[in-house]
Structure 1
């Protein structure tokens, strides 16, 4: 997932103040006001942990925990801030981690697979005493969430996937299904290092991107939010896509909600229908009009409404069908 689009006006010269740093602080304050606190979870617990997961957790023990997994882009706060108050008002207790190599989460281990990410987040949930939970994953977070649900069905009660192309196959890139033709080009797109690369990503992911994206704001964003762990993030993509085949993708047993932006150019609608077919009647697809890959940022009210309704439904009613909203 890309960062929220920058302001559509401003100087082309160097920014004196850091817009990205100020926005990051603003999102952190929103999490604090919503009753969440930041926590660094060392894994394994001990004096020399190999992995640390940073996460925002409820100040009190959660009664209805909902794990929110972010996509590529900035840290989790940038992608989930609009969802906190509606979810809490609906009776949910959001738990919002940074995946490994995003935000303040990191590891010294060499594994870059989605299975490693899933095991790491599950271990962090165990460490804070949350044994069962609902799960929402957006884009890359959906890949990790899908793997978590398959690996730990006793812990993940039901799943919402937002524009998560888990049914893609590596051959799809060469066959022209995506705007990139190989894993290397995908990494260059999703791990931008220059303003023109951020512009391309925003224009691919938003239906209505800003007409003007000043370079000073984009350089600022890259410096503050996207300059760490560039190589590791590229390795995550290689591990995710290389050799990927639908035939090896497990089928989830949990009720699954699939949410997709109708004009998604990163993961086209074909992948939404492919996933719905793959789950064989255990899922429901909701297509949101006038939205692209960044549907969670373009249409947060519609996305949040569907999430709340899905997780409140009885299990028997939580699957099947295709809805357009």
Structure 2
């Protein structure tokens, strides 16, 4: 659930002209606009929840024209969706896909007044937004926390989700894994403190944990700017999302999704170690394929965006039978890893 690298200067609030984080936020929004996407704020009714549709609003970037090959992109913890998906827009569009990019609840401009913090509620909210824009069938890519939500969507709405790509999404974790030392934190509270940083030293720890090659210099003034502009909203709600995600989580309760699934992992992921990638591959069996990106950590989507995007495009362009053929793609994967490590 990586944050983006910290911004390059300091400043005030979200609208301050002195804030480089705010300027960067505007820059990412302009990149989405130039790519042909438009922002929508969609009030969504949730079946079985409060009847007031305005209680939940999902902000989503959608193609200006009706999508022919829709691909839903779900971000992880950190800033809004634009910060994590901007590098992927033009390659995906050039490959023939129509990206649809929502902010998950309590990130960016999406929020709810309802009390549910489960990944299932996130999944229902995003699905309601997809229904509202008239997209009935789509591919799905989820990064880290977005992978938890995407996995739940695939399980809940198999008629809508055609294929799934999960990037460093530790959906097979169990709460007992924390106490047993699989992660760099020993409990849900410590995980929340790590993933919802409130001070510069906490941002530094998170960046150094998620990147193989983190920035050498991260001045406090820059980090305070990022926290104030992009990380100061919904702190309590984000913490509650993590508690709802991890508390009493057991692999035995995880459904086995039926869609063809691509699993992408950073070889040196310290947030969700490789054990969880192999655990997920075993859980899904022949219906999945695992690709490991060398010299990358949990923030593989930001460290190696070209490699991750290439694998996503390849997977979603292939016929189903070929997409799950591990042997066919072994040599391609080795070549990608060699390029990533600079050995060729």
User: TM-score, length-normalised on structure 2?
Assistant: 0.91
Aligned to 1:319: 324
Q: Is the 8 A contact 1:204 1:266 kept in 2?
A: yes
Aligned to 1:28: 29
Aligned to 2:252: 247
Instruction: Indicate how the Cα distance of structure 1 residues 48 and 168 shifts in structure 2: closer, same or farther if over 3 A, else same.
Output: closer
Unpaired runs of 5+ residues, structure 2, are 11-15, 338-344
Measured against aligned partners, the alpha-carbon deviations of 1:145-180 in whole angstroms (never above 9, x if no partner) come to 000000000000000000000000000000000000
Distance 1:294 1:156 in 2: 25
Q: Is the 8 A contact 1:66 1:93 kept in 2?
A: yes
Instruction: Count how many residue pairs are aligned between Structure 1 and Structure 2.
Output: 322
Tell me how far 1:204 sits from its aligned partner.
0.2
Aligned to 1:4: 4
Distance 1:71 1:295 in 2: 12
Tell me how far 1:211 sits from its aligned partner.
1.2
Distance 1:51 1:16 in 2: 31
* 1:180 maps to 2:181: no
Q: Is the 8 A contact 1:169 1:246 kept in 2?
A: yes
Distance 1:48 1:211 in 2: 46
Measured against aligned partners, the alpha-carbon deviations of 1:198-227 in whole angstroms (never above 9, x if no partner) come to 000000000000111000110000000010
Secondary structure of 2:142's match? strand
User: TM-score, length-normalised on structure 1?
Assistant: 0.96
Aligned to 1:18: 19
Correspondence 1:81-96 to 2 at 5 A: 81-96=86-101
Tell me how far 1:3 sits from its aligned partner.
2.7
Aligned to 1:159: 164
Tell me how far 1:44 sits from its aligned partner.
2.3
Unpaired runs of 5+ residues, structure 1, are none
Instruction: Indicate how the Cα distance of structure 1 residues 47 and 254 shifts in structure 2: closer, same or farther if over 3 A, else same.
Output: closer
Correspondence 1:1-325 to 2 at 5 A: 1-6=1-6, 17-44=18-45, 49-321=54-326, 323-324=333-334, 325=337
Tell me which stretches of 4 or more aligned residues in structure 1 moved more than 4 Å: 45-48
Distance 2:5 2:44 in 1: 34
Tell me how far 1:39 sits from its aligned partner.
0.3
Q: Is the 8 A contact 1:282 1:320 kept in 2?
A: no
Measured against aligned partners, the alpha-carbon deviations of 1:175-207 in whole angstroms (never above 9, x if no partner) come to 000000000000000000000000000000000
Measured against aligned partners, the alpha-carbon deviations of 1:252-311 in whole angstroms (never above 9, x if no partner) come to 100000000000000000000000000011100000001000000000000000000000
Q: Is the 8 A contact 1:150 1:252 kept in 2?
A: yes
Measured against aligned partners, the alpha-carbon deviations of 1:18-71 in whole angstroms (never above 9, x if no partner) come to 111000000000000000000000012998611000000000000000000000
Tell me how far 1:7 sits from its aligned partner.
5.8
